[in-house]
Structure 1
Amino acid sequence: KQALFELILEKFSGPREKFNYYMANLNEIDDALAFGAEKAKMVANEVLEKVRNKLGY
């Protein structure tokens, strides 16, 4: 059991460190989400503009 536990700890040490980093730096997550939202908004506006042009608005 101990060997399995140590293997699991070793296997997930990288993702755990990454998780701990981002939990300590939540502003990076907020920045990434804001960037993604802005990018999605730009794409959506382009699509909406094409639809409006096709519909004659």
Structure 2
Amino acid sequence: KDTSGTASAGKKKKLQPLKSKGSATSSGIRSAVSTRASLHENLTSEMCSEGLLTE
């Protein structure tokens, strides 16, 4: 009984960091996407002001 309990506890411990890592990665991707979008917006408006790009 003791060894089986330790094994299940180990399994639970292994799953926990994976979950937190996944949420951290998704939030990181989200912030990266928003940063990329704002960068693209700035670049587009810059090109428009210089007459390089017509909307």
CA distance in 1, matches of 2:14, 2:21: 11
Give identity over the alignment, percent: 6
Q: Which has the higher contact order (CA 8 A, sep 6+)?
A: 2
After superposing on structure 2, the runs of 4+ consecutive aligned residues of structure 1 that deviate more than 4 Å are: none
CA RMSD between the two structures: 2.0
**TM-score, with normalisation over the residues of structure 2?**
0.57
Q: Looking at CA atoms only, which structure, 1 or 2, has the larger radius of gyration?
A: 2
**TM-score, with normalisation over the residues of structure 1?**
0.55
What is the count of residue pairs matched by the alignment? 35
Provide the residue aligned with 1:34 in structure 2. Answer: 22
Structure 1 unaligned regions, length at least 5: 1-22
